[in-house]
Chain A
Amino acid sequence: MFVELAPLVAPAEHVAVEAARPPLARRALRALPPFLYLAPGLACLLVWTYRPLVEAVQLSFYRWNLLPSRPKIPVGLDNYQQVVQLPELRHSLWLTVATILCLLPFSVLLPTIISLLTRRIRGRAGVAYRALVFAPVLVPPVASAAMWMWLLDPRHGLVDRMIGHPVNWLHERGPAQLAIIGITGWHLLGFAVLVVTAGLANINDEYSAAAQLDGATRRQITRWIILPLLSPTLVLLTLMTVLLSGQLTFPLIDALTQGGPDDATTNAYYLLWEYCFKSFNAGLASAAGLAFFLTFGLVALLLVWLFEKLSFHDN
Chain B
Amino acid sequence: MVLNDLSIQIEQGSIAGVLGPNSVGKTTLLNIMSGLVIPDSGEVFFEGGSVSDFKSHIGYVPQEIALYHDLSVKDNFRFFSGVYGLNRDKSRDRMAYIYDIMALKDLHRMKIKNLSGGMKRRVNIGIELLKDPTVLIMDESTVGIDMGARKGIIDMVRKLNEKGITVIFTSHHMSELESICTDFFFLNEGKIVLEGKKKAILGKDEKKRTLEDLYNDIYRFFE
- Bind each other: no
- Residues of B at the A interface (CB closer than 8 Å) are none
